[in-house]
Amino acid sequence: MTAAVERQRAIVAEHIRFENNQDWTGVCTTFVQDERAYYDVVPLGARFKGIDGVRAFYQSIGQALPDLHINVTSEIHVPGTSVLEVVITGTHRGEFAGVKPLGNPVRVEMAAFYIFDENSEKLIAERIYYDQTSVMQQMQGKEQSAVA
């Protein structure tokens, strides 16, 4: 494994540790600190631009799921990009995507893509993919239908 890929792996691990500790300032330090930074929530069609946008996203998710916990189930790292499959759990305590909090538990299976700068020293972006309908149903306390 190359030194750049090893750096990426370490940065992503640190990023996840900060998230699990709800250290949103720390999470943001793993990104470049300028307008190149962004956070994409693909199911919502939302891009949070620049490091200020990234901070705003994390402030929002920290309020929505103050007990957020990430469990990494698989990962792959290639030069310039790391991809993780994770399970996120938490309790819906703050508004998210227009849904008022009801205190319901949330469990989200997600794929997260981490895009690095040219030296693999900082994140340029995180791009997440998950089932938005399932998240909304869980937040609203609605039963989810099983897929056969």
Residue 120: the pLDDT is 86
Q: What is the pLDDT of residue 148?
A: 47
Note the pLDDT of residue 11: 98
Taking CA atoms, 25 is separated from 1, 33, 86, 129, 143, in Å, by 30, 12, 21, 23, 35
pLDDT at 146: 52
Please, what CATH class does the domain formed by 3-140 belong to?
alpha beta
Give the mean pLDDT of 13-41.
Answer: 98
Residue whose structure tokens are 């008022």:
100
**Candidate from 10-14, 21-25, 79-83, 143-147 with smallest mean pLDDT:** 143-147
**Strand-by-strand arrangement of the 46-49 sheet:** 46-49, 38-41, 123-130, 105-116, 81-91, 69-78
Q: What is the pLDDT of residue 145?
A: 54
For residues 3 and 40, what is the distance between their CA atoms, to the nearest angstrom? 27
| Residue-wise pLDDT tens digits, 83-136 | 999 999 999 999 998 899 999 999 999 999 999 998 889 999 999 999 999 999
Token output for 96: 């998210």
Q: Does the structure show a pLDDT above 80 at 143? A: no
Give the integer Cα–Cα distance in Å for 11 and 116: 10
* Mean of per-residue pLDDT scores for the chain: 94
Mean pLDDT of 72-93: 97
| 51 closest CA partner among 16, 69, 27 | 27
85 near 109, Cβ under 8 Å?
yes
Identify the residue with better confidence: 63 or 1.
63
Mean pLDDT of 45-53: 98
Q: So where are the chain's domains?
A: 3-140
